[in-house]
Structures are given as structure tokens and as C-alpha cells.
Structure 1
Amino acid sequence: MKKLRSSVLGIANGDEVLFEDFTDDGEMWTGRGQRERRRRIKFSEPFERPPTVQLNISLWDMDASNILRADLAAEAVTESGFDMVFRTWGDTRVARIRIAWTAIGELPDPDTWDVG
């Protein structure tokens, strides 16, 4: 459990099209085997410490004739941003994915004095 020490909490969120591979026959649509896409997301202002980040698929456009395989993760979370990572494998064909994200964490408290 993450315990927040601050009375100043921040919530940042967004909705990002991670890729649209059907438009140019990209590897997520035409490829096979292990495939990965990632995008660095930067927060509009930094958190005090790395926040908790939640990801959700907000648009899923996949070929239904094959088994659907997907892994979605927030990696390399820092005070200023995180990596949004989508992975698939086998013969899964992904035309496009849009990811909604929410980050919740402590913000710097403007009333705290740094005497160090």
C-alpha cells in the first residue's frame, strides 16, 4: 500500500492513441511473434514522488479471427512521467489502440520550507 504524506494530492490524466498500424500496414497489424510499442508520457507538472499510474484500453480495434493477446503496463514511472507499454505476441493482429491513463500522487506542498 502506498501511503501519502502530503495534504496536496494531484491527479493527472489523458487519452492517447498509441498506434494506428492498419493505416500503413505496420507490424502490429501485419507482423507475428513478440511485438511492443511504447510512448513516454510527460506530466504537465511533476509530482513530489513517483505517482501510482493506472492504464485502461479506451479503444480496441483488433482482428477477431485470431486469438486476442495483449499486455498493457506503465513502466519507468518517475515524478515527471512514465512509459506506456503495449505488447502482443503470436498471430494477434492489432489495428489500433487508444489508452486512457490516470496518475495519482503527492504534489510538492508550497507551504513546506526547505531548510536543508
Structure 2
Amino acid sequence: MKRLRNHLIGIDQGDTVVFSDFEDEGEMWAGRGQRERRRRISFSEVFRSPPMVHVSISMWDVDTNTALRADVTAETITADGFDLVFRTWGDSRVARARLAWMAMGELRHGDEWDVN
């Protein structure tokens, strides 16, 4: 569990299209080639420290003639952003995917000074 040290709790969220491969017969839709897509997300405000980030599939358009496989996650989480990651494998054919995310963590207090 992440414990927050102050009453300044920030929640940021978004819904991001990670890829759309069906229009140009891209690798995800073709069912071969690179099976991972990343999108760097910047928070609307910098957190005091890296926040907790939750990711979920909010839309995916897939071919039902092959197995449906997906792994979605947040990686490289920092106080100002993270990498939104969608992975599939095998012959899964994914036309497009949109991922929803929510970050929750501490914000800096207005009286806090960063002396360096």
C-alpha cells in the first residue's frame, strides 16, 4: 500500500488511443511483426513523487477468428508521466486499442521549497 503524507492528493486521468492499425494493414492488424506499442503520457501537473497508476482497456477492435490476447500496463512511472503499454502475442489481430488510465499520488504543498 502506498501511504500519502499530506492532504494534497492529486488524481489525473485520461483515455488514449495507443494505435490504429486496421486502416493501413499495420503489424498489429496483420497479426505479425512488432507486438508491443507504447505511448508516453505526461501528467497535467507534476506529482510530489511517482504516483500509483491504474490502466484498463476502454476500447479494442479485434478479429474474432484468432485468439484474443492483451497485456496492458504502466511502465517507467515518474512524477511527471509514464509509458502506457499494450502488448499482444501469437497471431492475435488487433485493429486498434484505446486505454484508460488513472494516476493518484501526493502533490506538492504551495509552501514547499525545493532548494538545490
TM above 0.5, yes or no, is yes
Once the two structures are superposed, the pairs formed by residues 77-116 of structure 1 within 5 Å of their partners are 77-113=77-113
Amino acid paired to 1:47: F
User: Does residue 24 in structure 1 map to residue 9 in structure 2?
Assistant: no
User: Does residue 39 in structure 1 map to residue 39 in structure 2?
Assistant: yes
Aligned residue pairs: how many?
116
Give the percent of matched residue pairs that are identical in Structure 1 and Structure 2.
62
The 2-side partners of 1:91 and 1:80 are apart by 35
Give the C-alpha shift of residue 115 in structure 1.
7.2
Give the C-alpha shift of residue 112 in structure 1.
3.3
Residues 33 and 90 in structure 1, CA contact (< 8 A), matched pair in contact too: no
The 2-side partners of 1:53 and 1:23 are apart by 31
The 1-side partners of 2:23 and 2:115 are apart by 55
Residues 27 and 34 in structure 2, CA contact (< 8 A), matched pair in contact too: no
The 1-side partners of 2:57 and 2:30 are apart by 21
Q: Which residue does 1:53 correspond to in 2?
A: 53
Query: Tell me, which stretches of 5 or more residues in structure 1 are unaligned?
Result: none
The 2-side partners of 1:115 and 1:44 are apart by 23
Residues 60 and 96 in structure 1, CA contact (< 8 A), matched pair in contact too: yes
Residues 34 and 87 in structure 1, CA contact (< 8 A), matched pair in contact too: no
The 2-side partners of 1:53 and 1:11 are apart by 10
Query: Tell me, which stretches of 5 or more residues in structure 2 are unaligned?
Result: none
Decide whether aligned partners of structure 1 residues 38 and 115 sit closer, same or farther in structure 2, where only a CA change above 3 A counts. closer
